[in-house]
Amino acid sequence: MHILTVKGLHKSFSLYNSPLDRLKERLLGGQRHRQYSAIHDVNLALAPGESLALIGQNGAGKSTLLKLITGVLLADAGVIERRGRITGLLELGTGFDHELSGMENISVNGSLLGMNAAEIEQRRATIVEFAELGDYIHEPMRTYSSGMMMRLGFSIAIHADPACFVVDEALSVGDARFQQKCLRKIRDFQSKGGSLLFVSHDLTSVKLLCNRAIVLDQGRTVFEGTPDAAVNYYYQVIARLDQVEMVANSAKNTGYGLKNVQILSAELQNRSGKTESFSAGEQAYLNIQIIAQQAVSDLELGILIRDRFGQDVFGTNTALLGNEAALHFSAGQTTVIELGFPMNLGIGKYTVTLALHKDMDHLEHCEHWWDNVLEFEVAGFHTPVFAGMVYLPVTLQQTGKRDIAA
Ligand SMILES: Nc1ncnc2c1ncn2[C@@H]1O[C@H](COP(=O)(O)OP(=O)(O)OP(=O)(O)O)[C@@H](O)[C@H]1O
* pLDDT 10s digits, 117-158: 999 999 999 999 999 999 999 999 999 998 899 999 999 999
Query: Does position 251 have pLDDT exceeding 50, yes or no?
Result: no
Helix (H) or strand (E) holding 298: strand 296-307
Burial class (CB in 10 A: 0-12, 13-18, 19+), 110: buried
User: CA–CA separation, 72 vs 11, rounded Å?
Assistant: 13
Nearest atom within ligand 1 for CA of residue 66: 18
Phi then psi dihedrals of residue 399, to 5 deg: -125, 170
Taking the alpha carbons at both ends of the chain, their separation in whole angstroms is: 73
Predicted local distance difference test score (pLDDT) of residue 197: 94
Helix axes 146-158, 117-131, angle to 10 degrees: 130
Complex confidence, ipTM? 0.95
The alpha carbon of 384 is separated from its chain's Cα centroid by a whole number of angstroms, namely 35
Per the confidence metrics, is the pTM higher than 0.80? no
Q: Is 49 in the pocket of ligand 1 (CB under 6 A)?
A: no
For residue 288, what are the β-bridge partners? 266, 337
Nearest atom within ligand 1 for CA of residue 60: 21
CA of 23 to the centre of ligand 1 (A): 22
Helix axes 227-238, 243-252, angle to 10 degrees: 140
pLDDT tens digits, residue range 371-401? 888 999 999 899 999 998 999 999 988 887 7
Nearest atom within ligand 1 for CA of residue 54: 21
More confident residue, 362 or 279: 279
Phi then psi dihedrals of residue 245, to 5 deg: -65, -40
CA of 208 to the centre of ligand 1 (A): 26
